[in-house]
Amino acid sequence: MDQLANCYHKGIGLPPNDKEALKLYAKAAQMNYLDSAGNLGVLYLTSDQTDLGRDLAARTQKALSLFRDGAKQNNAFCMYLYARCYELGSGVAANATEAEDWYRRAAEAGNRPAEEWCPRPTVVLGAPPTP
């Protein structure tokens, strides 16, 4: 369902149809496929073809809620999206500390974009190892 919803949302192999994508993402999310909850949140942020129409503030809050719920269930993708909300101030006040915390959690859970976001420790050649 999630992959088919992606095809509808992005117009891959068929005409774009965000209303159909919404149905499929929502159904998969209801079945506790949390990546679909994250994708559903992204759809709310990017499309006025949802049940919330052109109300960007309501769509942003819906997306934030989906990301938060998935993040609290330890879904790496939702943690990453939740971190982005804190970084960009989408639906919440921008908060670099919260963003970094959620990026690190997402990275530890295996989310590649979060892994790339997190700074790597600096290694000094020839220096004794730190305890």
The pLDDT assigned to 44 comes to 96
The residue that leads in pLDDT, 129 or 41, is 41
- Rounded distance, CA 96 to CA 86, Å? 7
Mean of pLDDT values over 63-72:
97
Measured CA distances, 121 to 54, 60, 62, 88, 124 (Å): 43, 34, 36, 24, 10
Interatomic CA distance for residues 10 and 30, integer angstroms: 22
**Interval 41-68 mean pLDDT:** 95
In which band, very low, low, confident or very high, does the pLDDT at 123 lie, cut at 50, 70 and 90? Answer: very low
Cβ atoms 103, 112 nearer than 8 A: no
